[in-house]
Amino acid sequence: MGYKVVVVGATGNVGREMLNILAERHFPVDEIAVLASRKSLGTEVSFGDKTLKTQDLDTFDFTGWDIALFAVGSTATKEYAPKAAATGCVVIDNSSLYRYDPDVPLVVPEVNPEAVEGYAKKNIIANPNCSTAQMVVALKPLHDRAKIKRVVVSTYQSVSGSGKAGIDTLWDETKAIYNPTDNYSSETYPKQIAFNVIPHIDVFMEDGSTKEEWKMVAETKKIVDPAIKVTATCVRVPVFVGHSEAINIEFEDFLDEDEAREILREAPGIMVIDKREDGGYVTPVECVGDFATFISRIRQDSTIDNGLNIWCVSDNLRKGAALNAVQIAETLGARVLKKG
């Protein structure tokens, strides 16, 4: 006996990826429903070798369904997630709405799988921000060995993090630059993204940081350890898919780079590719479509006591969003629901 699964926001980038990953990982689905807003009603999406038509989120009855994977913005989630949860359907939410709610577990299955057991207070589990998810997968096994004091991270985030609008903007701006007769302007980003980088993701906060940077700080503390100090600079780069991060880690105890490399090689969800030669590292283009979080450029930082640098790359539509949500569903099934 398998699960009755709902994918909410099935026509978006993340929703479609959720369907792909459910099929690829052979998640035990007995029945599946795909929901969208009325403007996308009837749009067809793929699930394995099946083609499904979207149903209306506004009128859908979640009663009797086991798990709902939400891939819509916070506004729609605020309206529909509590309705789904109230019927007994467990919501796994990809928006930022519930991440900082103390009654809602924030889960990365390689890091804190036991946290899913706290779902029952609201029948909701939160999926972290894409840039946080890949980073904590790398931090946790190192933290277990040497205890992390402080993390300094600079991100290089792809335009797919802004959804379809971001992908279209990079494509259209690039074409317009090569063909100056094209008259193109975009409201997706505050500055040109083609052949440029923008040190601004989400809104600015009073202390000068952006909301994206604040998310990485708050979520790392909730998922890994509230004692870890984190400072982040988040940058949008002209890459279609795949987020990269340069992470500087300060530990309480010394951790040799060779031992760190072996720890990461053995850690779940991580692939280490770290050769000190031309091309002996992973870039965003190579991570697309892969489940793994890739770690390269592991090396000692001699400017601080007990310091280490790593380069971290992952497909943000997968580990940063859809894959992590499906892994949460798998963990919930194995630990709590126990079907399939």
Under the banding of pLDDT at 50, 70 and 90, the label for residue 40 is: confident
Measure the CA–CA gap between 238 and 276, rounded to whole angstroms: 26
Residue 340 has pLDDT above 70, yes or no: no
User: Can you give the pLDDT at residue 10?
Assistant: 96
141-155, 183-197, 220-234, 314-328: range with lowest mean pLDDT = 183-197
Q: What percent of the chain has pLDDT over 70?
A: 99
Q: Is the pLDDT of residue 218 over 70?
A: yes
Q: Amino acid letter at 258? A: D
DSSP string, 86-137: HTTPEEEE-SSTTTT-TTS-B--TTT-GGGGGGGGGTTEEEPPPHHHHHHHH
Average pLDDT, the chain: 96
Q: How confident is the model at residue 253 (pLDDT cuts 50, 70, 90)?
A: very high
Average pLDDT of 161-165?
92
Name the pLDDT band for 182 (thresholds 50, 70, 90). Answer: low
Mean predicted confidence (pLDDT) in 202-223: 98
Q: What is the pLDDT of residue 109?
A: 97
Strand order in the sheet with 293-301: 229-236, 148-157, 243-251, 307-314, 293-301, 270-272
Residues labelled catalytic: 130, 243
| 276: pLDDT strictly greater than 70 | yes
> What is the CB-side half-sphere exposure of residue 60 using CA atoms within 13 A?
27
